[in-house]
Chain A
Amino acid sequence: ETGVTQTPRHLVMGMTNKKSLKCEQHLGHNAMYWYKQSAKKPLELMFVYSLEERVENNSVPSRFSPECPNSSHLFLHLHTLQPEDSALYLCASSQGDRSTDTQYFGPGTRLTVL
């Protein structure tokens, strides 16, 4: 595998379910990002991890819980979501040694909350 991969690609869940999104980067990067892309809003940065430490949390509701066990993996744990959380969730990574690095994105997980 190369680049940034995300699983699953599609997910349908009920409001009471608990699920997790997984992101893996094969680029040797040190920073990883979660974005939300919904039809009504532009790309929104949710979380940033740099060297496995969360460095950015953009007022995201607690029903979204990120986890970064190592620099190659990033998870987004979901519980008691709302229908308005339906969106495309994109993961990205960057080298992380400069603030002007290029971010490389995965294919996204299309989430539908019923």
Chain B
Amino acid sequence: AQKVTQAQTEISVVEKEDVTLDCVYETRDTTYYLFWYKQPPSGELVFLIRRNSFDEQNEISGRYSWNFQKSTSSFNFTITASQVVDSAVYFCALSEARSGGYNKLIFGAGTRLAVHP
């Protein structure tokens, strides 16, 4: 069965610290997609990144970077030089490739990140 585990419930850091949010997933499929979303206090889930299971290259976007390791079924997210605006709940999600014109996302429980000045 599919499952996404975000073991860190809450993380608290001081501004400018680097922080890594962990995500471990389980799936039997060889083709799947992984996502990260950010949910600020306003409530909206903001899409950050999507990776497919065949692309293990790490990705960097500004202060954000993602480390995908198939061998350990992990897709970790690092924020470099954190800022107060990064305070939010971050969700990791898994989607299997399947027939049909829609997808089903399996979300982790989320990690609440608090960045203090």
Q: Which A residues have a C-beta under 8 Å from some C-beta of B?
A: 30-31, 33, 42-43, 45, 48, 50-51, 55-56, 88, 90, 92, 94, 96-108, 110
Contact = CB atoms under 8 A, between A and B. Distances in A.
A30 B107 CA distance: 22
Interface residues of B, number: 27
Residue picked from B43, B46, B100, most chain A C-beta under 10 Å: B43
A31 to B, nearest CB: 4
Interface of B: 33, 35, 37, 42-47, 50, 52, 91, 95-105, 107-110
Grouping DSSP codes into helix (H, G, I), strand (E, B) and loop, the B interface class, with mixed when no group exceeds half, is loop
Nearest to B50: A102
Contact of B35 (A31, A102, A107): A102
A97 B101 contact: yes
B8 to A, nearest CB: 14
A90 B37 CA distance: 13
Nearest to A30: B101
Given A31-B101, A50-B102, 13 more contacts: A33-B102, A42-B107, A42-B109, A48-B104, A50-B101, A51-B101, A55-B100, A97-B101, A99-B98, A99-B102, A100-B97, A105-B45, A107-B43
